[in-house]
Amino acid sequence: MIPKIILGKGPHATRRTIGYLFGKGRANEHTDPHLVASWNDFAPDPGRSPHRNPKDVADQLAAQLDQPVKMLGDKAPKHTVWHCPVRAAPEDPILTDEQWADVARRIVAAAGIAPDGDEEACRWVAVRHADDHIHIAATLVRQDGRRPSRGYDQRAVQKEARRIEVDYGLRRLKPGDGTAAKRPTSKEHFKAKRQGQDATAREVLRLRVRRAVAAASSEAEFFALLEATGVTVRPKAGPSGDVLGYSVALPGDVNKVGEPVWFSGSTLASDLSLPKVRQRLSDTAPEPIAPRPGDPWHQATAATERIASHLTFGDDHAAQGQLVALGAALDLLPVTAPSAAKAELQLAAAAFERATRSRITADRDSARVLRRSVQAIWRHPDAAGDGSGPAMLLDAALTAVAFAIHWHRTHQHAQQEAAAQQALVHLQAAYGTVIEPALGDLARRAPGQQTKHRYAHHLQRAVPEHAERIVEGRAWDALATVLAEAETQGHNAATVLDQALSQRSLDDARHPARALTWRIQRLGQRHASGPRAQAAMARSTALHPTAPASAAAVPSSQRSPARPR
């Protein structure tokens, strides 16, 4: 059950609200609007007065609601109307008028509008439009002339809604922490629907601004990227001429007088205000020393693999910073990924956006490598021309998101946990469309049977519990290819395979051959050690065959749910 508070102001705010509640709706969606409850239980009902003009009854109802406000004259508050739609989930049972009336009374009591037993409380009505929702409208002056005590009313009605869900057996939503981005209004949804758009202007702008933040390395580049993606930008300058903020609009998105509909960064999301954007750009700005050259897909994958360790063993601030960086990576992935995976990746990024924000302050310093490498991919998406780059990164992202679910669950971040779970589903679907072409390309270059037999023999010695599944798996030929290519680069196949096996346990991998393929492909492209170093590494592996690395050290009781790899 979702309650949402809207405040109204102006001399005709009450009559305007009543007119909307008992009208046909913006898209003729109001069917049989009628009162189910009111402050005195006998307020005039424009929807149930067959012998009177409905307009006259609406005027009478608005006048009665407005009476305490009018008594204050010029001392009336700026906002005089409290409007709260309350909607049930589509799968919920249909409540009766009496049950909706109980819901309304509990909501206004929780909000401080009309506490139980308070005969001098604000005047209010509850109007039912359809089976699944009501609208509560109240005037914000008590009948004794005082203002209602409604501090933190949005949080209070949300908590009461969670209790109502339990009492009536409704779908139970996750409790929030006040960090979610503002949802589009019903007016914005109706506007998008009229224009044949799948998303509201607010949602489109939020996505484009997030991508620009993820891709930019400076404030100037941030604004340039916004304009390059078709966003109209309006900087807000102070008296000194310094830019203090910004607003954005979509071309063609205008109000009823033909003016652009502007959204400030902070109204799109709290972390998209200009001060927050500047802080993020500053926290992750490149250091004066040039980064070590290399394949950005491999660097991004390695950095993403380390997220699990940060979430398991790092402090909360560093862990939150890693989640912000992972969200930025997911924001940019749809731009660089194969077309077949774009739709699912966009849904994954949109879902995971909620999982990147909590009340824990993010320390982004440890996530610089991931941010820079993802930016490099965005600028040069064809760096991994064989298609293995996106597959590798997605494989690591699946693990990182699984650990994010566990981390949020541990910290009782219910909404963030649910968002990460939803993102994982979309990532798994995208991974399925990316993995097959990449593995097929590798498999076509597989070495001969004698070489594969040699690799299988070492697997049998190193991981006998997984060897049969790996050799019989669909990715075995691809794994053999990357082992052979590692040997071509001067690596010892047995040593590099042992290194890959030590990076993380295969116990929760549904497709261990896939997981090893991407690890070995990255290891094989590193500079090969000399014979003495390889011999020393082999001796170390023999002495410590189960030495954990990063997430491999996570106890089984703390591991996240298994996911396909």
String of b and e for 399-426 (b: at least 16 CB within 10 Å)? bbbbbbbbbbbebebbbbbbbbbbbbeb
pLDDT beneath 70, residues of the chain: 26-29, 283-293, 381-387, 508, 527-565
Which pLDDT belongs to residue 23?
Answer: 86
- Helical H runs in 91-152? 97-111
Q: Which pLDDT score is estimated for 286? A: 54
Q: Judge contact between 112 and 132, C-beta under 8 A.
A: no
pLDDT of residue 544: 45
Domain ranges of the chain: 2-168, 186-283, 294-436, 445-528
Q: What is the CATH number of domain 2-168?
A: 3.30.930
**DSSP classification of residue 247:** E
Q: Residue 546: its pLDDT value, please?
A: 40
Q: What is the pLDDT of residue 531?
A: 53
Angle between helices 493-503 and 449-462 (to 10 degrees): 40
For strands 79-87 and 133-139, give the pairing: antiparallel
Q: What is the pLDDT of residue 555?
A: 40
Amino acid in the structure at residue 214:
A
Tokens representing residue 274 in the block? 């200009």
**82, 140 in Cβ contact below 8 A?**
yes
